[in-house]
Amino acid sequence: MAIKALKRWSTDELERAIHSDTLNKVEKYEAERILRERERAPDRRLTRMSYNAAAWAEAYSMGTFIVALIIFWLLATGKSLP
């Protein structure tokens, strides 16, 4: 059986095949690796969402800081705001 074919199997089919010993050693190892990868997928999604939220918060705060610096600079040089 081709290793690529195992990726198309559902999680239940992979678990059943592993427990029923219908796979050879290489296929069993690959099926276990696929199952571990599928278990980690939600964690990676949560990590990416957290990172994106933190990046947007940092960008917003940096933008606010830059605007405040510009306002202070305009006030310090005596120029009026438009």
Whether the full predicted model's pTM is greater than 0.85, yes or no, is no
Tokens of 1: 């059986």
Digit-by-digit pLDDT tens for the chain (82 residues) are 666 788 888 888 888 888 888 888 888 888 899 899 888 888 888 888 898 999 999 999 999 999 999 888 888 888 766 6
Q: For residue 6, which of 23, 60, 59 has the smallest C-alpha distance? A: 23
